[in-house]
Amino acid sequence: MTTEQRLEQLREQAWDKGIVAGRGVDVTGGPIPRRSGYYGQPVVKPPVWTWEIPIYFFIGGLAGMSAVIAFAGLVFHEIDLARTAMWLATIGAGLSPVLLTIDLGRPRLFLNMLRVFKYKSPMSVGAWIVFAFGACVIPGLIALELGTRYSFGGGTDQFLKIFAHLLVIGSAFWGVLLATYTGVLLGVTAIPAWFLHRVLLPIHFGSAGLGSATALLELLGHRVAPLSALGFLAAAIETALWIWLEIDKHGAADRALHRGLPGWLIRGSEFLSGPLALILRLTNLVPLAAIAFLLGAFISRFGWIEAGKVCGRDPEAVFASQG
């Protein structure tokens, strides 16, 4: 039935009875707004970031911490481990800018990231860290590969080795910052669920990065004791962070972390990379523990971004955080 026919019916019904029955539904917000703030409108803006950013957080953390392991491997003559770790770091260093660029509103202006250096902007510092990390890791890997194969012989190899060592030290330096700065990036914002946990976030992202690097290296066949120890450590820290997060609640301000989709994502991821990984390691199911940890670390980043979105849309969270 067309709207016009329906209207015609209504008209006749009206002429006969005066009143036409129908269904009514409440207007949002009216008569007087009962929702907090201005008709429940968000006070701050939720992040516009999409899937690229949590994946970048995961890959960046993994790559950064891989560079640290590579550095330790080099120092303690675990050359194979160091090489694999450097490969991971390099792949990560290559993927990170790609992911970041895809997420930009105007990818063609990516280079503007290096237009200025603003120490008060974690994004600017981060861009320079990613740049510096890439600048160390990629030549570092090349030097390492060439140097360890003794392709040139003699002095050149020696030079390459030293060069590789220096670059791997640099990689480790930038890598560890790459893995942790992302926590600062989220912590230094106006989103209550993030800034209220600005101390926890770098620790979490750091340990998740370290654990992920360890787990992936283990899955790639490097079943050595130091990695196992690091795996235990990371899982233990994640368990501790979970407990911290459960205790350090801020009511409405960070309820996005505990409720709904982001709540379950964070809780689930912490379970995977915390207690579950720990138990699996204790029961010597190392590959399973590694997978659990990787999965947890991966999901966790989505959880945190999602929490930011939910929290950003919630005016009460902002008011509560400023109460």
Partner 1 sequence: MFSLISKWPLVRQIREQKDGTGLESMSDKTRAMHARIDDAQVARSICPYCGVGCGQLIYHKDGKLISIEGDPESPISQGNLCPKGAASYQLLTHSRRELKVKYRAPRATQWTEMSLDRAMDMVAERVWESRKRTFITQENGSTINHTTAICHLGGATLDNEENYLIKKLFTGGLGMVCVSNQARI
Partner 2 sequence: MSRSWKVRRSPATSFPVVCRAVLLFLIGLSNRRPNLVCRRIYTPNSHLPAHRMAEDFRAVTARRAKCGETMIGEGTQSTNQRRHNYVQENVEVGFFTGPTVCIGCKACEVACKEWNEVPDDGFTWIGNSYDNTGRLGASTWRHVLFLEQDCQKGNQITGLMGLSDAQSEDPFRWIFLSDVCKHCEEAGCLEACPTGSIVRTEVGSVFVQNDVCNGCGYCVVSCPFGVIDRRPQPLPDAGGAFKCTFCYDRQKSGLVPACAKVCPTESIVFGRLDDLRARASQRVEQLKQSGYEDAQLYDPQETSVRGIHAFFLILGEPEAYGLPPKPQVPTIYLKSAWTSALLTSIAALIAVLGAFLFFG
Partner 3 sequence: MPGLGTSFGRGGATTAQQDLANADCILIEGSSMAEAHPVGFRWVMKAKERGATIIHVDPRFSRTSALADIWIPIRAGSDIAFLGALVRHIIENELFFREYVVHYTNASCILRDDYGDPEDRADGYFSGWNEDARNYSMQSWQYKGEGLSFPERDLTLQDSQCVFQKLKRHFARYTPEMVEKVCGISPALFYKVADTLVKASGPDKTAAICYAVGWTQHSKGVQIIRTASILQLLLGNIGRPGGGILALRGHASIQGSTDIPTLYDILPGYLPMPRGGEEETLQQYLDAHTPKTGLWSNTPSYFISLLKAYYGKHATAENNFGYNWLPKLTADHSFFEYLYDMADGKMEGMFLIGQNSAVGAPNSRLQRKSMAKLKWFVIRDMVETEPARFWRDSAEIERGELKTEEIETEVFFFPAAGHAEKEGAFTNTQRLLQWREKAVDPPGDCRSDAWFIHQLALRLIGKARAARDPIDEPLRALDWWYPEDRFGEPKMEAVLAEINGWKTPVAAATDRGSIEGVLFGGVDREGNHHHEAQIDGYEELKNDGSTACGCWIYSGVFSRDGVNKANSRKSRDYLGHGWGFSWPSDRRIIYNRASARPGGEPWSERKKLVWWDSGNWTGIDVPDFKKDKPPDYEPQNQERGLDGQRGDAPFILHEDGLGWLYVPKGLQDGPMPTHYEPLESPVHNALYSRDTNPVVNWFTRAENRFAPPGDPRFPFVLTTYRLTEHHTGGGMSRFLSHLSELQPEMFVEVSPELDEPEWQNHPSSRGSVSFWRSGPVTRQCCQ
Which spans of this chain sit near partner 1 (rule: CB under 8 A)? 114-120, 124
Q: Cβ closer to partner 1: 115 or 149? A: 115
2 interface partner picked from partner 1, partner 2, partner 3, none, CB below 5 to 8 A per type? partner 3
The binder of 322, among partner 1, partner 2, partner 3, none, by C-beta within 5 to 8 A per type, is partner 2
Q: What is the dihedral of CA 201, 268, 302, 198, to 10 degrees?
A: -10
Contact 64, 93 (CB under 8 A): no
The entry of partner 1, partner 3, partner 2, none near residue 110 (CB within 5 to 8 angstroms by kind) is partner 2
CB nearer partner 2, residue 71 or residue 163: 71
Choose the one of partner 3, partner 2, partner 1, none that binds residue 198, judging by a C-beta under 5 to 8 angstroms depending on kind: partner 2
DSSP letters of 244-283?
HHHHS--GGGGGGGTSHHHHHHHHHHHHIIIIIHHHHHHT
Which parts of this chain interact with partner 3 (CB under 8 A)? 2-8, 10-11, 13-15, 17-28, 31
Residue 243 interface partner, choices partner 1, partner 2, partner 3, none, CB cut-off 5-8 Å depending on type:
none
Q: Which is nearer to partner 2, 17 or 120 (CB)?
A: 120
Q: Give the nearer residue to partner 1 in terms of CB position, either 23 or 120.
A: 120
The identity of residue 292, as a single letter, is A
> 121-126 — which CB contacts under 8 Å span 24+ positions?
122/181, 122/184, 122/185, 122/188, 123/185, 125/181, 125/184, 126/178, 126/181, 126/182, 126/185
Closest separation in Å from C-beta 16 to partner 3 = 8
CA 229 from chain center: how many Å? 24
Residue 30, burial from CB neighbour count under 10 angstroms (0-12, 13-18, 19+): exposed
Distance of closest approach, residue 226 Cβ to partner 2, in angstroms: 4
